[in-house]
Amino acid sequence: MLDRINNPVKEFIIIGDGPEFQKILEISNKTRNIKVKIIGWASEEDINSILGINDILIMNSRWEGEPLVIREFIDRNLPVISRDIPGVRGVTLRKYRYNNENELEEILNNHVGRFEVKKQIKEANIMRMRSRVIAIITGRI
């Protein structure tokens, strides 16, 4: 876990209950520089109520067949950072894949701010598009 003072992400929400759940729970109880909230298994409805526009998926699996959770985040237009493993290479950008904790921290330090800027631009574009659609529907254009 990236319990380092220079980690730009200060809150982690861990969803899932894989084979290392107990180990992650023990480690998360000892963190000093990050806040960790453990959800465990969650339904899609629960996940939808948890996720927000500022969330980033960090996929830490050591192996993955068909990465459905990654596809779900991409469908929500949320950024995905993942281990560089065969199952995710076809659906993730290379610059957002890591092999070790140092590479993950580097990605976070280099890109978290960019994700925020992209979201702000995207939100502004969506609002502009909504006003145009409303204008077209009401016949003001």
In a domain, 118, yes or no: no
141 pLDDT higher than 70: no
Give residue-wise pLDDT tens across range 48-83.
888 877 788 888 888 777 778 888 888 888 888 999
CA distances from 38 to 16, 22, 25 (A): 8, 11, 7
**Structural domains in the chain (count):** 1
In a domain, 85, yes or no: yes
Give the per-residue pLDDT at 115. Answer: 62
In a domain, 1, yes or no: no
Q: Which of 46-55, 114-123, 128-137 has the highest mean pLDDT?
A: 46-55
- Helix/strand/coil (H/E/C) assignment for every residue in the chain: CCCCCCCCCCEEEEECCCCCHHHHHHHHCCCCCCEEEEEECCCHHHHHHHCCCCCCEEECCCCCCCCHHHHHHHHCCCCEEEECCHHHCCCCCHHHEECCHHHHHHHHHHHHHHHHHHHHHHHHHHHHHHHHHHHHHHCCC
In a domain, 120, yes or no: no
Host domain of residue 65: 11-113
Give the per-residue pLDDT at 83. Answer: 92
pTM of the model: 0.68
Q: What is the CATH number of the domain that holds 40?
A: 3.40.50.2000
For 7, the token pair is 């980690």
